[in-house]
Amino acid sequence: MTTKAKAVAPKVAANTASETEELVFDRPESMVDRATHYCPGCHHGIAHRLVAELLDEMDLTKKTIAVSSIGCSVFLYNYIDVDTVEAPHGRAPAVATGVKRARGDKFVFTYQGDGDLASIGMAEIMHAANRGERLTVVFVNNTVYGMTGGQMAPTTLIGQKTTTCPGGRCKDREGSPIRMSEIIAQLGGVVFAARGSLDSVKNIRQAKKYLKKAFEVQEQGLGFSFVELLSGCPTNWRMTPLAANKRITEEMIPYFPLGVYRDSTADGTCGSLVAPAEGGK
């Protein structure tokens, strides 16, 4: 189910006979030239773009099989020009396991929301990580079930109002928000686990570095790699995009600290859990 991207614009565009303009920002070749269905201010588009940029830069596009799941990113195959398998809700790590084991020559990543990965698919993600499947998981945590209208997710913050906890999430009633990167990092088959954020340019650049490392881990055949991306859902948070970004900075990052939680590669920390780079627990 691939869609061909339009030819990319030349890197130097002629303006007049005597003048040229340097193209400094362009659409990645592996991204389809099409408007997305995402709401204004949604971070799924940024996450897609980071993935697409790396597929281009690492020359992975032609050998990639994406496993998209259920949630607002269900139409990922419309936007990233790679072969894609659509997995039932939460089952992407199990489907990706089959794909990667059958086609070890392919680059395989799952792209999952927090409702998908940390709720209905909790068993699948835990066991795929524990087995050390040689695949990469991109986990978009926006603390809510976005697609279905804003129900509480396992990652919903204490006090956050959703349609299923209209008075705000209460620890005694619904339990504490689950920190997936910290849990995943402790499982035996995990080589790289990190949490980035898409709320600022600085954090987006850092998130791309984490994704790149995770992709390299798979390419080197080392084992399971996992990157969580803190993201905004302005629509279901009932916020403007700017206020949503601020919420990530001020409320999400303190609870979900950014940084590398496991790096067992040769240039990493040889299998030990590592402290997050910033933020407090």
Ligand X SMILES: Cc1ncc(C[n+]2csc(CCOP(=O)(O)OP(=O)(O)O)c2C)c(N)n1
Which residues are near ligand X by CB under 6 A? 70-73, 89, 113-116, 120, 140, 142, 144-148, 153, 233
Contact call for residue 235 and ligand SF4 (CB under 6 A): yes
Binding residues for ligand SF4, total number by CB under 6 A? 12
Which residue from 146, 196, 223, 276 is in contact with ligand SF4, where contact means CB under 6 A?
146
Give the C-alpha separation, 145 to 243, whole Å.
19
User: Please, which residue, 44 or 179, has the CB nearer to ligand SF4?
Assistant: 44
Write out the H or E segment, with its range, that includes residue 185: helix 180-185
- Nearest distance in Å: CB 271, ligand X: 31
- Nearest distance in Å: CB 145, Mg ion: 6
Q: Which one of ligand SF4, ligand X, Mg ion, none interacts with residue 39, CB within 5 to 8 A by kind?
A: ligand SF4
Give the C-alpha separation, 75 to 193, whole Å.
25
Contacting ligand SF4 within 18-57 (CB under 6 A): 38-39, 42, 44
Give the C-alpha separation, 25 to 45, whole Å.
16
| Whole-number Cα distances in Å, 141 to 72, 83, 106, 256 | 12, 24, 26, 10
Nearest to 268 by CA among 219, 220, 213, 229: 213
Round the CA-based radius of gyration of the chain to a whole number and report it.
Answer: 19
CA 145 to chain centre: 15
Pairing of strands 12-14, 83-86: unpaired
**Which amino acid is it at 135?**
L
Q: Which one of Mg ion, ligand X, ligand SF4, none interacts with residue 61, CB within 5 to 8 A by kind?
A: none
Which residue from 72, 99, 135, 260 is in contact with ligand SF4, where contact means CB under 6 A?
72
Cβ-based neighbours of 28, under 8 Å, separated by 6 or more: 49, 52, 53, 55, 56
Q: Which one of ligand X, ligand SF4, Mg ion, none interacts with residue 77, CB within 5 to 8 A by kind?
A: none
User: Please, which residue, 118 or 193, has the CB nearer to ligand X?
Assistant: 118
* Both structure tokens of 22: 């340097």
User: Please, which residue, 76 or 187, has the CB nearer to ligand X?
Assistant: 76
Binding site for Mg ion (CB under 5 A): 113-115, 142, 146
Site residues (vs ligand SF4, CB under 6 A):
38-39, 42, 44, 72, 142, 146-147, 233-236
